[in-house]
Structure formats: structure tokens, C-alpha cells
Amino acid sequence: MSEQKIDYSEVNSLTSDDTISVEEMNDLMKKVEQFYFDRGNPRMNIIWLANLILKRLKLDRDYYINCEGTKGTGKSNFILLLSLIQTRYSGLYRDTKNGHIIKVLPRLKPMDKRYEQLTCGFSFKNNMSFLDESENVKQKFNGLDKYHPMIIDEGSKNLHKYQWNNKLQFLLVRMSDTERWQNKSVYVCFPNFKELNPAFRNDRILMRIYLYDRKIKENYSSCIISLRDQNRYISDPWHNDDNAKQYEYILRRTSIVSRTPNDILNAEKRLKNYAGCFDVPCLEKLAPRIWDIYMKYKSYYANKDAQGIDLKEDEETKKLMKLHTNLRRLIDYVKVNFPNLTNKDMQKIAGLSAPAYIKLLHATDTENLEKRDRY
């Protein structure tokens, strides 16, 4: 057959070795802290941002962030590292005094020394969504504990493949209204902010992270924070048109090809929604195995999308083929043992119309049955 057989063992392998150990997480945090120590311990950094988000979540709220920037500037690196830091103290703990095992939600400070951390709360399978349909995103979101992050990566592919504007965005808006009590954060990696629908863009997104520069040799990226204007009387709390005009006016003497990252930063600092900037270390450099796990997921789903394969649909197709095959074998058995029965009688036994019965016979003839048995 010309169809490609799907290796489901590859799907299972995605979850076989994707656990982040406590030692890995502690080592990652030490390296992130050292990264900022070498830069003079700036108050504004990715650890500060993770703590800021947690403080808001613990005030019985949620938090939506959109991550922007051209391809290769480090958007996925940013939202993954932010999520890991947000969940660094979560997971299962053992009370060393009585041996009890407890689950700890994401928190700002480490547990008391009497508690030994056994697992990390972050899970690639549960906290990240790659090219999922809207209902699958909702299932993952509802399956997370309080104060956890939900990463929706490859947002632009979701938009075009699953009519993201009509489904996922409105689902997230609805979830923000009905599921706010779950107190979770959602990080969307979507480069073109203006393609988001107005309800999601203006009412749900509270912060925009713009990755405007990446230093490959130095292993870090630079980002700019923009906050939504709280003025309830304006139609565009992001001042997109005004900021665009102001941006061009500031850089009017600098041609597009001559604009440096410093030019961009200086212009952004003068815009209405600017709230700060900081550097972000490269996760691949700090924790290669964690980054490899992420890339394994991303590559798998990217290949699945490129091949047009839907594992859920393919599994249903296999079940339907098996049902048709078994029904055909039952029909053949009845024909052999009850030769007086006509085709009309067989149609009634199978519960099929004449065209459906003929189609079943054609689809499950001897040649096709032999081919299916080989799969």
C-alpha cells in the first residue's frame, strides 16, 4: 500500500525520558542566578518576572502573555525557561519527620528543610501544547494544578491549521471568564500580534514580550516588556497605531538596514506601553538535556504536521477498518454455512443499504484483506 504506516512507539517514546530531575532543576537555577550575578544582579530579570506572575496568580487571578519576535530570536527559549522557573519549587515532597508524601504547588519560596523534593512539577506533556486542537488545549489546561503555566507553542501554525482565530482564541477568552478560579498563566508564542482577534488581544493579553536581539556567541537574547494600558476608555490599550508612528518618527534618520538592537531599544523605551527590558540566558547552553527534550517534542509534532498526520484520526480509521474487516469475515462465514441466503438477506443481517453493502464488499475483497493483515 502507498499509505505510510505510523510508528506509534515513537509517540510513546516522547514520554519515556522527558522527566526533569530535581538535581537538573536546581542546577539550572544556579546557572540562571550566576548569569544575572555576572551582569550586576539587575532587579528586572526572568526570575523576577516568574515571581511577579506567581504573585498575581495567588491573588486569585490569571495571567496571559504573548511572546513576539522574528524567527530565531529565542521566543520558545523564553517561555520555556520562564515556565521552568515558575514551577521550580513545585512537585512531590517527602516530610523527613513522618515520611508523608505531599504535593506542592508553584510557590515563591523554597519549602522548609524538613521537606525533601522528590519530583519537579513541570511536565512537557502537560504544560506544553504543540499544534493541539482547541478542545485538547482545554483538556490540558483543566488538567494542570493551580498556579501552573500553560505554554501554547507554534501558535502561528495553530492559527492557519485549526482556524486559530475562530477556535482557540475564543476558547482562551471563554476560559479566562469561566476558569479564572484555576489561577493559571497562559503563554502564547505568536509573532504577529495584530492577527490576534480584538477580544483576545485587548482584553486578555496583559503583557507582551518582544525578543528583539539574540547574541548567539554570548548565549543570550534580549527582550522588551510591554504592558497593557489600564485606561478603560480607549479602544486600543496597546496603542498600536500611535506607537507605530512614534517609532518611525524616532528612527526617521536611521534607515531600516542601519538600525541596530540599541536603536530599537532606545525607540521602544519612548513608546507608551514600554515597561522594561532584560537579557535572557540560553537554555540550550544551561541545560542541554532539557532543551533536547523540548526539541524532540517540537520536531515530532512539526513532522507530524508536515505529513498531514492526525494520530487521533488515524487511530479511529484503523478501528473502522478492523470493524469492516470483521464484518466481511462474518458475512463470508454466514454465506458458506447458509448457502440459501441471498444478498438481500445478507444486507438485512449486516444492517446496510444496498450501496453500502456493495461498497463494503469492494473495500474488503480478498486482495485488500491480505494487504490489511500485513499492517
47-56's contacts with Cβ under 8 Å and 24+ in sequence apart are: 47/85, 49/82, 49/225, 50/82, 50/85, 50/86, 51/108, 53/82, 53/86, 53/149, 53/185, 54/86, 54/106, 54/107, 54/108, 54/147, 55/108
**What's the rounded Cα separation, in Å, for the pair 243 and 204?**
20
Same domain, 96 and 194: yes
Same domain, 56 and 17: yes
Same domain, 111 and 166: yes
Residue 342 lies in a domain: yes
Per-residue CA distances from 194 to 12, 227, 249, 324 (Å): 37, 16, 21, 48
Per-residue CA distances from 340 to 128, 241, 346, 356, 365 (Å): 60, 80, 11, 22, 21
Q: How does pLDDT run along the chain (375 residues), one tens digit per residue?
A: 333 333 434 434 444 478 999 999 999 999 999 999 999 999 999 999 999 999 999 999 999 999 999 888 999 999 999 999 999 999 999 999 999 999 999 999 999 999 999 999 999 989 988 765 656 777 888 889 999 999 987 654 554 444 444 556 666 666 666 566 679 999 988 878 887 778 888 988 999 999 999 999 999 999 999 999 999 999 999 999 999 999 999 999 999 999 999 999 999 999 999 999 999 999 999 999 999 999 888 877 766 655 554 545 445 556 667 777 778 788 888 888 888 888 888 888 777 777 777 777 776 665 444 444 444
The verdict on pTM exceeding 0.85 is no
Residue 248 lies in a domain: no
Q: For the chain, report the end-to-end CA distance as a whole number of angstroms.
A: 10
Same domain, 156 and 284: yes
Residue 26 lies in a domain: yes
Pairing between β-strand 149-153 and β-strand 185-189 as defined by DSSP bridges: parallel
Same domain, 291 and 361: no
**What's the rounded Cα separation, in Å, for the pair 310 and 292?**
24
Count of structural domains within the chain: 2
Q: Look at residue 75 in the predicted model and tell me its pLDDT.
A: 93
At residue 190, what are phi and psi to the nearest 5 degrees?
-135, 110
Q: Please, is 185 exposed, middle or buried when counting C-beta atoms within 10 Å of its C-beta (0-12, 13-18, 19+)?
A: buried
Q: Look at residue 245 in the predicted model and tell me its pLDDT.
A: 96
Residue 257 lies in a domain: no
Give the residue from 235, 270, 228, 234 showing the smallest Cα distance to 249: 270
Q: Look at residue 15 in the predicted model and tell me its pLDDT.
A: 44
Which residue range is the domain that position 362 belongs to? Answer: 312-373
Same domain, 40 and 173: yes
**Number of neighbouring beta carbons within 10 Å of residue 287:** 23
Rg (CA), the chain: 27
Bridge partner residues of 211 (DSSP): 223
Q: Please, is 5 exposed, middle or buried when counting C-beta atoms within 10 Å of its C-beta (0-12, 13-18, 19+)?
A: exposed
Residue 86 lies in a domain: yes
Give the residue from 89, 106, 91 showing the smallest Cα distance to 26: 89
| CATH code of the domain in which 191 resides | 3.40.50.300
Same domain, 340 and 281: no
